[in-house]
Amino acid sequence: MREASIRHNRIEERLLEELETIIPLELNDPRLINTTVTRTHLSADMKNCRVYIIDRSEPAAREEVLRALSHAASYVRSEIAGSLGLKFTPTFQFFYDDSTERAMRVEQIIENLHQPASAEDPSAQGADPNHG
């Protein structure tokens, strides 16, 4: 059982490495210039792979980037099939990785909790200005 999970993790890592090369260097699509693969998640049966990306373009362009990647998925799959030599090459689904944005929001919330309440803001002190 342990060998299977080690193999699974190793294939996941190899997929990530291959995708990091194929997407920016072999896909000649200007929509993908600012795209970075952040992680992969290979299904237990190794038939499907979720690919998480970030893109430094405008947030409005994210859907277009995901469409471009979905359109190129069969090409990406054929390239990986040739380089990894797996018996079965997984199909790829692309998703925007918003974990960095979520982490920044959490940090901002924590930072706001640690800031002292303003003396000029009566609501921050719990006082009601109408009943003072």
Instruction: Identify the pLDDT of residue 117.
Output: 62
pLDDT digits (tens, 9 = 90+) for 37-69: 999 999 999 999 999 999 887 888 889 999 999
Percent of the chain with pLDDT over 90: 48
Among positive and negative, which fits the CA dihedral 43, 68, 63, 103?
positive
Confidence of residue 112 (pLDDT cuts 50, 70, 90): confident
Residue ranges of alpha helices (H) inside 27-126 are 62-84, 99-114, 122-125
pTM for the model: 0.74
Q: Which residue has the tokens 């979520």?
A: 102
